[in-house]
Amino acid sequence: MSTSADRRRRMVDRLSEDGITDSRVLAAMGTVPRERFACSDLADVAYEETPLPIGGGQTISAPGIVARMAAALRLRGGERVLEIGTGNGYAAAVLASCGARVVSVEYDAELAAAARRCLARVGIDDVEVRHGDGAHGAPDRAPFDAVSMTAMAPDFPPAVLEQVTPGAVLVAPLGVDRDGVLVRRRRGREEHLGPVRFVPMRGASDAVRAAMS
């Protein structure tokens, strides 16, 4: 019978075969125990290429999209990263395991609390989880070297764009409702990294939504 470690190694092999070449990301994906972020009855499928429900209508993204987004940030270690949409902390754990210092903002108070517990349980201490409206970022921790949005929005929130360094890398699924394109933006240049499907961003005020539309 295969162990979680065996399944994690097979997942990393699959990610590598699918084109993930960033050694930091592959090492992080091979280290963070995804089953510790999943419901106990889903542990056996934690390393399958599928999103997992975590409550509140939210999911942990499939391993492939977590790896793609982390690789798109081009982390080298020591970056300050703003994550919008903590979920239960798995993607933040991967970013921290890539050497980043992460501030992650989650709209749902119960999920934020669950993320803190999950991160503490696996010994990840370079992630600060906040309960709040991610569209407002974390101005008291700015500037950020990178931004990862894990929910669909029409564009990057204006407040967040004011909280980044000049050479910051921003990665997000941009679109309407649940369907859109994974976008990487840096120094005014934008790259489309392929179609994606994400839950819509929650909590942005009417003024912020108007500015993003």
List residues with catalytic annotation: 61
Asked if residue 7 lies in contact with residue 33, where contact means CB atoms within 8 angstroms, the answer is no
Report the C-alpha gap between 51 and 59 in whole angstroms.
6
Report the C-alpha gap between 194 and 84 in whole angstroms.
20
C-alpha triplet 135, 119, 49: angle, nearest 5°: 80
Report the C-alpha gap between 105 and 84 in whole angstroms.
5
How many other C-beta atoms can be found within 10 angstroms of the C-beta atom of residue 109?
Answer: 11
Report the C-alpha gap between 64 and 66 in whole angstroms.
5
* CA proximity to 211, closest of 152, 169, 138, 160: 160
Q: State the helix-helix crossing angle for 63-72 and 90-97, rounded to 10 degrees.
A: 40
| Phi and psi torsions of 163, nearest 5° | -110, 20
Asked if residue 126 lies in contact with residue 95, where contact means CB atoms within 8 angstroms, the answer is no
Q: Give every CB contact of residue 43 below 8 A, 6+ residues apart in sequence.
A: 4, 35
